[in-house]
Amino acid sequence: MLPLQGIRVIDLSAVVLGPYASQNLADYGADVIKVEPPEGDSTRHTGPSTEVGMGAIFLGVNRGKRSIVLDLKRPAAREALLRLVDTADVLMHSIRPQKLAAIGLDPQALMARNPRLVYVGLHGFGEAGPYRGRPAYDDIIQGMSGSAALMERQTGQPQYFPTIAADKTCGLVATHAILAALFARERTGQGSYVEVPMFETMAAFNLVEHWYGHHFDPPQAGCGYPRLFAPHRKPYRTTDGFLCVMPYTDAHWRRFFTEAGRADAAADARFASMAERTHNIDALYRLAAEILATRSTADWVQTCERLEIPAARVNRLEDLEQDPHLQATGFFRTIEDPAMGTLRFPGPPMRIDRQPLPVRMAPRLGEHTAELLREIGAVQETP
C-alpha cells in the first residue's frame, strides 16, 4: 500500500509548479484529480508529441492523475467542483487570489464547507505584502529572487538558470508543505490553509548560503558565498575531456596535492584550512585546474577513488539513460500506451520499504470526466 493511498487531491493548477507538486503526491499514491478548462493545460502543447494534447512537458509533470474538464464559467461546472471538494483532502490552485471568489473558490467558504480540507494557494507572492496578486512565472521569479544576478556574478551578465528552477523548487516546497498539513490534520482533525509564495520560496532557497555575512549585525561580509563565484569553479579540463572533482576537507586537499607532487601546495598556509581556502579560493581552484589538465579523465577518476576524493566525469543529458548506476537502480521506466506506443520516463527517485514507486500514464484531456461525475452523482453537461 502506498503512503497516500486514500487521499484525494483536487488540482486546479497548470504549467509546472502545481502539477509537479501534485505529481509527487500521485507518486505516493494519492488520487490526484486534474481539473482542466476545455482547452486544457497549456503544457499539453509544449514539446514534441506523437498525439495532440500529450506534449513532452505535460507528460513530465502529470503522471498518475485523472483529468476532468470543467468550464468554471458555467454554474453546473462550479457545482460539480464543489461536490468534488466535498470528497477531497486537498485542494490546490495557482489562481491569483483576487479571482477566486468569482469562480467559487474562496478559501473561507470551501474550508467551512469541508473543515478537513487542506486548501493550498500556489501564489507568485505572499498575500501579506504589496506584491500580492501579481502574475508570476519562473523567469520573473528567477530575476526577482536573485537567481539571475547570481549568474551575473559568475558569467558577467544576468542569466536565468537553464532549468525551470523556480517552478520545480517551489513545487517541492509545496509537496512537503501539503504533507505537513496532512500530518497535522491527522492529529487535530482540522484542515488548514497553506500558502506557497514563489518569490519568498526562491529568496529563501538562494539565501541558504548566499546570505553569508548578513547573518550578523553589523554584517561581517557581503552577500554571496565566495567559493561559488570563483572563475575556476566549473568542470576541469583534462587531457581528453572534463572532470568534476571536489576535494573538500583538509585531508582531501593534502592527498590531492601530494598525489600531484606538489608538496609546496600541501604545505601552503593559504590552503591549510577551510577558512583559509575560502579566502584564497580563486588561487586554489586555479592551481587545481593546472594540475588536473595533466592527466586523462579516466586516470583522475581512478586516482580520486583511491584517494577517497569525490570525482566524476561530466555527463550530458543524453548520457544519463546509459549511466550504469541509473540502469542498475531501474531509474528510467517504460510505459506501453496503446495509442502512443513506448514512452520512457525518469521514475520517482525515492523508494518505500526498498520498493520503487509505480509510474503511471498521464491522462488525456477530460479522460476521466464522465467517471468522476458519476462518482459524485453529477450530470455531465452537453456542449
Check if the beta carbon of residue 332 is closer than 8 Å to that of residue 346: yes
Round to whole Å and give the CA distance between 102 and 258. Answer: 70
**Which among 71, 138, 167, 282 is annotated as catalytic?**
167
Check if the beta carbon of residue 65 is closer than 8 Å to that of residue 18: no
Q: How many residues are recorded in the chain?
A: 383
- Residue 282 annotated in active site: no
DSSP state, 219? -
Round to whole Å and give the CA distance between 104 and 88. Answer: 16
Helix then strand then coil, % of the chain, to nearest 5: 45, 15, 40
Round to whole Å and give the CA distance between 245 and 146. Answer: 27
What does the block give as the cell for 198? 514563489
Residue 271 makes CB contacts below 8 A (sequence gap 6+) with: 253, 257, 265, 277, 280, 284
Round to whole Å and give the CA distance between 11 and 79. Answer: 16
Angle at 36 between CA 34 and CA 39, to 5 degrees: 145
Residue 274 makes CB contacts below 8 A (sequence gap 6+) with: 250
- At which residue does the C-alpha cell 585546474 appear? 289
Q: 267-304: buried (b, 16+ CB within 10 Å) or exposed (e) per residue?
A: ebeebeeeeebeebbebbbebbeebbeebebeebbebb
* Helix (H) / strand (E) containing 333: strand 332-337
Local structure of 287: helix, strand or coil = helix
Q: 34-54: buried (b, 16+ CB within 10 Å) or exposed (e) per residue?
A: bbbeeebbebbeeeebeeeeb
Torsion angles phi and psi, residue 44, rounded to 5 = -60, -20
Catalytic residues: 167
